[in-house]
Amino acid sequence: MQTPKPPRNPKQVKVLTHHGIARADPWYWLRDKDDPAVMDYLQAENAYTAAVMGSAQDLQTALYKEMRARIKEDDSTVPEKEGMYFYYERYERGAQYPSNRRKYQTLDAPDELLLDLNQLAKGESYLELGVCQNSPDHRYLAYSLDLDGSEEYTIRVKDLTSGNLLDERISRTYDSLEWANDNCTFFYTVLDEHQRPLKVFQHKLGGSPEHDYLVFEEHDPRFFLSLFKSESGRFIFICSEGNNMSEWYYIDAHHPDRTPTLIEPRTPDHEYDVTDHGTRFFIRTNIHGAKDFKIVEAPITTPGASHWKDFIAHHSGRLIDDFVVFSNYLVVSETSRGLPQVRVIELASGGSHLIEFSEEDYDVHVVMGREFDTTILRYSYSSLATPEEIYDYDMATGVRVLRKRKEVLGGFCSDNYKTMRIYAQGRDGVEIPISLLLRKETPRDGTAPLVLYGYGSYGHSIAPRFNQMYLSYVDRGFIYAIAHVRGGMEMGFQWYEDGKLLKKKNSFDDYIACAEYLIKKQFTAQGQILGIGRSAGGMLMGVVVNLRPELFKAIIADVPFVDVINTMLDKSLPLTTVEYNEWGNPDDKHYFEYMLSYSPYDNVRPQRYPHMLVVGGMNDPRVTYWEPAKWVAKLRHTKTDHNLLLLKIHMGSGHAGASGRFEYLKEIALELAFALKVFDKA
């Protein structure tokens, strides 16, 4: 059979000059999606990928069936009590999407269907639920839908008494909405022409959205707005947040027409978030050098920083990630030595204790409940080998009750797997955590192929939580590893700061150090690594494959942020100005030159590259489709090998890929089949 030939991508050289530095960009033209030639090229790339992967179609189908067979298709979430109702989601067998339901007073009561996403998805190629908030009296349900992956949502309101939709249809909103306590007013955020949520409006049921009241407007494009309601239900908060800077306002939820009140003005590098308890606010803050955050309290009547008093002092190396307040308790989510902890504090006595967890490497997070006056804390626990478990923990007695263990079908047994946490030494001496999952019989003599996942940006920590899709690698003899590189926050806030701006190259060096350590310790061998990253993690893949291509057998880069300079120079894109404090502002020559020195697209060079699969989304507002498209085009013209280079652009979705649970598995099956094909594991 004739080998498919990759599509031609003609050069149309455009010279871009900034700070007196001229850059020739032959594929700049791919940015114009209204150009028929661009769409023709993307379709040709998709056709080429389909042709190359045609020989693995049976494998893709088998992998899809394998992953689907592990899913308990008829399943429900653990009901959450709010007032006289229990709210939950339910999947039916064969359904792509869940339905939202509730029961009245007891769990034995008949269930009431609130929202069936499968019905709403009929005739749509994509559907993503944004907000889904019931009014305090439980009569109305406000929800929002994104129908193309652009992250632009339309709000609708359903009367749960009659089952009818109200006339309200509010478009161009973001996924943030909170109800006032009068049960007829809600607040929501609206996107500007650059897809940035910069306005908060107030809507009253029955009114025309055209006449909605503008409550708050952010004039600095480096900030996005979001809304939160406090656990007590007393306040609605407006958060204006940029990268490493925030500013909060509050509105009395019982008096929604009052003007928002500022808590503390924004200042550079000061982040804080707020909730209330009685006559005081509790505030998580990094003010005055509290790099790993502390919690302070302040009177609601005088909430500014001059009135802040330490409640939980700063402790270097113990990062306070989040906190939640109940009527008698404050619960703190912490990270220490790269592992999550949950600390419970009794407000009356000040006494505290940690909830204990036994595994060497795990993930735990508090599930935000709907009840304020309760002693029950719900949390989720999992590890790379332990499917998610939902517990209710009585903060008064210390008794925990397992409410649900996620069923994984298809013959899965946790006892067949081993998890580990090891540490690689970085080039500057730091210890970099690595999470590992392998079958117990997998040899550690350097013969096993290895998947190395990485991210390392925005302070986002990659939790070692269970994902059944990894099993399709591990059950075929792969070792699965997560490199917790700098730029995340696994080891505290300094870990993040040491992997951003002019220290961004630490992220890349750390990932390479992890790969070298795994080779040295014979978990795998050089040329037997599959590197995987998505979004900013895709940028990580782009950098390391330029620097050390010989380490890898293959790379999978999902929605990769690879055209760093051109993206960060384009202020019309939604995230550009918001992310100056992450990557730097290229209008500053110092940052421009540093970013240019690692930008994957700008540093493609004539050398051998491993097999590569690059994936993008046509409607992605975060990483535009043209970044992966341009990168692949340049690689085709530059690299010196004959290894596979495939581009797949999903034409009907955005940053998160397909929205239906089974359609998403088909996308993963393509990636798995590609990997198994090039590793000769098919």
Which residue numbers are catalytic?
535, 620, 655
CA 600 from chain center: how many Å?
22
Q: How many CB atoms lie within 10 A of CB 401?
A: 11
Question: How far, in Å, CA of 122 to CA of 132, rounded?
Answer: 19
CB 342 within 8 A of CB 379: yes
On the 0-12 / 13-18 / 19+ scale of CB atoms within 10 A, 161 is exposed
Residue 212 three-state SS: coil
**Tokens standing for residue 384:** 């790379």
Look at the chain and count its residues.
Answer: 682
**Tokens standing for residue 370:** 């709907």
Question: How far, in Å, CA of 306 to CA of 418, rounded?
Answer: 51
Residue 269 backbone zone (phi > 0: left; psi -120 to 50: alpha; other: beta): left
Backbone phi and psi for residue 314, each to the nearest 5 degrees, phi listed first: -65, 135
CA end-to-end distance (rounded Å), the chain:
19
Question: How far, in Å, CA of 444 to CA of 208, rounded?
Answer: 66
Angle between helices 57-69 and 661-678 (to 10 degrees): 130
Question: How far, in Å, CA of 478 to CA of 486, rounded?
Answer: 25
Question: How far, in Å, CA of 282 to CA of 314, rounded?
Answer: 14
Residue 461 three-state SS: coil
Q: Note the helical H segments in 548-612.
A: 564-569, 580-583, 589-598
> Which among 195, 223, 172 is positioned nearest to 621, based on CA atoms?
195
Q: Are strands 363-366 and 352-354 parallel, antiparallel or unpaired?
A: unpaired
Question: How far, in Å, CA of 444 to CA of 446, rounded?
Answer: 6
Single-letter amino acid code for the residue at 669: A
Question: How far, in Å, CA of 124 to CA of 122, rounded?
Answer: 5
Contacts 24+ apart (CB under 8 A), 436-439: 436/361, 436/384, 436/479, 436/480, 436/481, 436/523, 437/384, 437/385, 437/470, 437/474, 437/479, 437/480, 437/481, 438/474, 438/479, 438/480, 439/474, 439/475, 439/477
Question: How far, in Å, CA of 202 to CA of 131, rounded?
Answer: 16
Residue with tokens 């509790």: 282
